[in-house]
C-alpha cells in the first residue's frame, strides 16, 4: 500500500509518499510558483520511495485555506493524478490538521486556527471522538465565545497562528504526516478534493455575475 500527500496551500509546495510504513518527503517554502515545482517534486519523491504511480492506493490533498491559486494547483494536480492512477483522492482541510496537532494527551479539545486577513480568522474545533466545529471563518471574538461554550470547562489547546485573546496558542504548521493520519479516519466521499476558501472571491464574471451565486 502506498499513498501520496500534496500541500500547495500554506505558502509551501510539499509532497510526501508513504510506502511500506516509511515516509519520503520534499518541502519548499514558497508563496507562489508551486505549479513550476510540484510535478518534479512528485517525480523525485516516487524515485526516493522506489515505487511507481501505478502502485498508489490513495491520494491526499490539502484543500485550504490558502491563496486562490495555491489551493487550486494542488487540487487540480491531485485530481489529474487520480485519473491517471485510478487511485481515490481525499481532501483534508489544514485547519483540521492543526486542530489534530493541538489535541495532545494533555488536552481534551484541539483547535486549529489561521489568520486569513481583513481582521478575520478561520478555525476548526475537535475532540478525540469527533469534529465539534467544521472549518469556519469569523472574527476572534466569535471564536473565543464559541470555544468557551463548547469547552465548558474542558481543557483545550490552540495550534496555528498567534491570535490575541486566546489562553494557549502553539505556533505550528500543519505537517504532511498529520494530513495523512487524518485521511485514514475521514470518509473520502464527504471529504472530496474540492477547494475550501475562507471567503467568496472578490472577482466577478463579465456582467457582474457572482460565480458563487
Domain ranges within the chain, ordered by starting residue: 2-93+174-183, 94-170
* Structure confidence at residue 10 as a pLDDT band (50, 70, 90): confident
- CATH annotation of 2-93+174-183: 3.30.420.40
Cell 481534551 maps to which residue? 108
Architecture of the domain made up of 94-170 = 2-Layer Sandwich (3.30)
User: In this model, does residue 169 exceed pLDDT 80?
Assistant: no
Label the pairing between strands 109-117 and 22-29: unpaired
Instruction: Look at 61-75, 109-123, 150-164, 199-213 and tell me which has the smallest mean pLDDT.
Output: 199-213
* Structure confidence at residue 9 as a pLDDT band (50, 70, 90): very high
Establish whether domains 2-93+174-183 and 94-170 are of one fold.
yes
C-alpha cell at 6: 500534496
8 burial class (0-12, 13-18, 19+ CB within 10 angstroms)? Answer: buried
CB-based contacts of 95: which residues, under 8 Å, 6+ apart? 65, 112, 113, 114, 122, 123, 124, 135, 160
pTM of the model: 0.91
Q: How far apart are CA 108 and CA 128, in angstroms?
A: 7
Predicted pLDDT of residue 211: 55
Q: Count of residues for the chain? A: 213
User: In this model, does residue 205 exceed pLDDT 80?
Assistant: no
Question: What 8-state DSSP symbol labels residue 20?
Answer: T
* Structure confidence at residue 170 as a pLDDT band (50, 70, 90): confident
Instruction: Look at 8-12, 76-80, 160-164 and tell me which has the smallest mean pLDDT.
Output: 160-164
C-alpha cell at 23: 515516509
Q: How far apart are CA 99 and CA 159, in angstroms?
A: 6
User: In this model, does residue 94 exceed pLDDT 80?
Assistant: yes
User: In this model, does residue 21 exceed pLDDT 90?
Assistant: no
Q: Outline where DSSP puts E strands in the chain.
A: 2-7, 12-19, 22-29, 58-62, 89-92, 109-117, 120-127, 131-138, 156-160, 169-170
Amino acid at each position: 500500500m502506498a499513498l501520496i500527500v500534496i500541500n500547495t496551500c500554506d505558502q509551501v509546495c510539499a509532497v510526501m509518499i508513504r510506502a511500506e510504513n516509511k515516509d519520503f518527503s520534499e518541502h519548499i517554502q514558497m508563496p507562489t510558483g508551486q505549479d513550476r515545482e510540484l510535478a518534479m517534486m512528485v517525480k523525485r519523491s516516487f524515485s526516493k520511495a522506489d515505487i511507481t504511480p501505478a502502485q498508489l492506493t490513495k491520494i491526499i490533498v490539502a484543500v485550504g485555506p490558502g491563496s486562490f491559486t495555491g489551493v487550486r494547483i494542488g487540487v487540480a494536480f491531485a485530481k489529474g493524478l487520480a485519473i491517471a492512477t485510478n487511485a481515490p483522492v481525499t481532501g483534508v482541510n489544514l485547519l483540521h490538521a492543526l486542530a489534530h496537532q493541538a489535541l495532545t494527551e494533555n488536552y481534551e479539545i484541539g483547535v486549529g486556527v489561521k489568520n486569513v486577513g481583513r481582521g478575520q480568522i478561520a478555525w476548526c474545533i475537535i475532540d478525540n471522538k469527533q469534529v465539534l466545529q467544521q472549518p469556519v471563518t469569523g472574527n476572534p471574538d466569535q471564536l473565543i465565545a464559541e470555544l468557551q461554550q463548547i469547552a465548558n470547562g474542558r481543557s483545550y489547546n490552540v495550534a496555528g497562528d498567534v491570535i490575541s485573546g486566546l489562553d494557549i496558542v502553539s505556533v505550528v504548521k500543519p505537517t504532511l504526516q498529520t494530513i495523512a493520519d487524518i485521511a485514514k479516519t475521514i470518509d473520502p466521499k464527504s471529504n472530496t478534493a474540492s477547494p475550501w476558501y475562507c471567503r467568496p472571491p472578490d472577482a466577478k464574471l463579465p456582467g457582474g455575475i457572482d460565480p458563487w451565486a
